[in-house]
């Protein structure tokens, strides 16, 4: 069976590496501004062929190169975990300014959280070469919550406590979101104070 990506894997890898390079650029800029790296960690992957074929079947699409690269937009995926909320949007704004990237979709689950409490900024970019890249941007708190929620969600022994579990997960998400706002305020105060000292 022919690879669902055809002969595009080297091109996909090149596009992923290029976008990671742009992320390194904005990290350097923000590090120079604030004195610390705004990105806690950055993960990237090209969806495996088996996973892409399964997604095509789930969405009722033919298992073809066109489905994998043109209809489905997350064959190339990058997750950027930032220290502060402002860093999330600074990275977003920088990526939007890159001439070879066009933002074709944005779902802001930070400002408009999902009902279960999930928060993250999802972006789909189209490279001038025609390939799509999905980028998820979130804070450390949001990433921690998502990882724990995923771990709990797939446990089989929840039993009859599902409603309580959902309620508690939402409460934890809201508390973490509040902490993110508080930490952002503290960072802004420290930055402003340092700038005032430098000017004085």
Long-range contacts of 183-186 (CB under 8 A, 24+ apart): 183/84, 184/84, 184/85, 184/86
Q: Which two tokens stand for residue 90?
A: 């600074």
**Distance between CA 15 and CA 65 in Å, rounded?**
17
The pTM of the full predicted model, rounded to 2 decimals, is 0.88
**Overall average pLDDT of the 80-85 stretch:** 96
Among residues 44, 74, 43, the alpha carbon closest in space to that of 58 is found at 74
CATH code of the domain made up of 1-200: 3.30.460.10
At residue 118, the pLDDT reads 95
pLDDT of 158 over the 60 cut: no
**Distance between CA 27 and CA 38 in Å, rounded?**
6
**Rg from Cα positions in the chain:** 19
**Overall average pLDDT of the 32-50 stretch:** 94
Among residues 109, 86, 110, the alpha carbon closest in space to that of 38 is found at 86
**Distance between CA 62 and CA 80 in Å, rounded?**
31
**Overall average pLDDT of the 4-31 stretch:** 97
């Amino acid at each position: 069976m022919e690879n669902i990506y055809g002969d595009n894997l080297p091109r996909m890898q090149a596009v992923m590496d290029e976008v990671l390079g742009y992320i390194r650029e904005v990290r350097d800029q923000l590090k120079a501004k604030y004195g610390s790296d705004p990105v806690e960690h950055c993960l990237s992957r090209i969806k495996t062929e088996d996973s892409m074929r399964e997604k095509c079947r789930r969405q009722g699409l033919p298992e073809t190169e066109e489905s994998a690269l043109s209809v489905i937009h997350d064959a190339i995926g990058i997750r950027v975990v930032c220290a502060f909320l402002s860093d999330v949007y600074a990275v977003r704004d920088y990526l939007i300014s890159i001439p070879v990237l066009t933002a074709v979709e944005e779902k802001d689950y930070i400002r408009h959280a999902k009902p279960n409490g999930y928060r993250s900024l999802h972006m789909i970019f189209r490279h001038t070469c025609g390939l799509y890249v999905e980028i998820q941007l979130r804070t450390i708190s949001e990433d921690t919550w998502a990882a724990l929620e995923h771990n709990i969600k797939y446990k089989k022994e929840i039993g009859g406590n599902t409603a309580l579990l959902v309620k508690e997960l939402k409460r934890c998400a809201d508390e973490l979101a509040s902490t993110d706002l508080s930490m952002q305020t503290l960072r802004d105060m420290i930055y402003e104070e340092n700038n005032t000292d430098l000017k004085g």
